[in-house]
Structure 1
Amino acid sequence: MKTLKFASKTLVALALCTGFAQASPLVTQWTVTDTATFVPASVLPSSNTYPFPVLSAGNTQLHWGDATQQSGLIITNSVAPILVPTGVLTSTVQITHDNFPIPAATPSNSLASVDILASLTLQSFAPSVGSTILGDITFGVRFLETPNGGTGGVCADGALVGSGGVNANGCADIFVISNNALNFPLFYDSDGATGGLDPEPYFVSFFADGFGTLSNAACLSAGAAIGCRGFETAENQSTTADFKILITSTPFTDVPEPGTLPLMGAALAVLGWLARRRTI
């Protein structure tokens, strides 16, 4: 049977493969299903009634405010599996922040943090179909609902209120990704462990359009370390971040397209893919 095998070690595992007589053929295309959901137990504040954050729609929507005035985060998953060519950055999941005014009495009860669980199914598609592999990755999110008037006319990101850009209509809210996911290893063996073929390494990385390194003030205001990555969302607008997957036959080292920044570092590569429902 054709199989995909996730590595429990990186370069050490690769070194052990060198004794095989023949290499597995290069996988040029994969079918991928990426289903992202908010983790209910991770929502802070944790109450399930307004004016606290509340989950709905299969844990893909998170709203706060009151019954008539709300902001929220909405995850949009692809309905069907996505065909992902090796080495091509491919869209999977979108996360939208609806940044709308909420009642003056509720900001202290607005979302502060939440985890997002990405449950992935990967399968080799070309040159041939392999067995299904399941894996989970958890991304931590810090969120700051900012007062539109700022503090002394200064927004949480350090810019002046109404100074233009994301702060033109009042102070932007701040969304920070706190975890990493770059170069998670997997191994492909076209006939399992019995056919004398050399399993080939592949690496899975995740990116998001619209993400970048935030200002020191923005990071610190959201309770994150300086150099954090995320995005700011303009008041009275909906802002969408497009999450993408990249599968490569060698570890990722370069930004694959302008304007796209990695969310992660390679230090967690070994931890992400050991078993179904095991998270970082």
Structure 2
Amino acid sequence: MGASRIDKRFAKTRAENRPAFVSFVMAGDPDPETADAILAGLPAAGADVIELGMPFSDPMADGVAVQLAGQRALAAGMSLEKTLAMVARFREGDDETPIVLMGYYNPIYIYGVEKFIADAVSSGVDGLIVVDLPAEEDDELCLPAIKAGLNFVRLTTPTTDAHRLPTVLNNASGFVYYVSMTGITGAEIKNRAAVGEAVNRIKSVTDLPVAVGFGIKSVEDAALIGRDADGVVVGSALVTAIEKSLENGRASLGTPQAVHNLVRALSQGAFSARVDATLALRERDKTGN
């Protein structure tokens, strides 16, 4: 398989000495039309890679904000088939920004694995993150997806030890997603230094970029995590921005802008991560402190 959109995008951000900004939104949230507008505007706002959630009724790894986003999408009639159609519409105007579908295996299984992979490729999907399908089940989806040209992004966590890590990384491609904490999306990162240490440990055993997600909510979070990580993933903060923009439970004229403004601010935090670190080192060298 040649270089994918994901490979090319991380090569670009690496050449620019900055982490990629990876944004997560839920397909169809809060309604299909508004979700299309949100998705279309993410690259211009600063998103290097887009994770698009596949709405599911029982999302075991998601916190309240992402659960509610999925519920809004499902209530608005979103389905896996419509999620793929959403990607196809996005591709009419953007053929460069990578899109990774993120979610759970049940909807894919019901859709039909072979049909799903074929439709995902034809729609313009670049990769998959399936959080409840372990490496021991690679024959189920991972290997057929890779054969078809899709990247299969693996999740690692603080509990993924040195013995387990090679198994997790064995068929990984695109990038590695490091979950910064044990628990669900939307919680607070308690030890940012430990995150940096974990990222460097993973990078010592793989050439794949390592992106960090879960708990990144502020410009400061994005800047600090971006010093070590190849990518900074933000999701709960963005779907919370959608929720706060709603009027009587429905999208307002300001809903897309609310998301894009937050992406713009957080991505700038990520982009400045290594610039600030470099300036600090230069200042230290000058003063000798």
More strand by percentage = 1
TM range (shorter): under 0.3
Q: Structure 1 length as normaliser, TM-score? A: 0.23
Q: Structure 2 length as normaliser, TM-score? A: 0.23
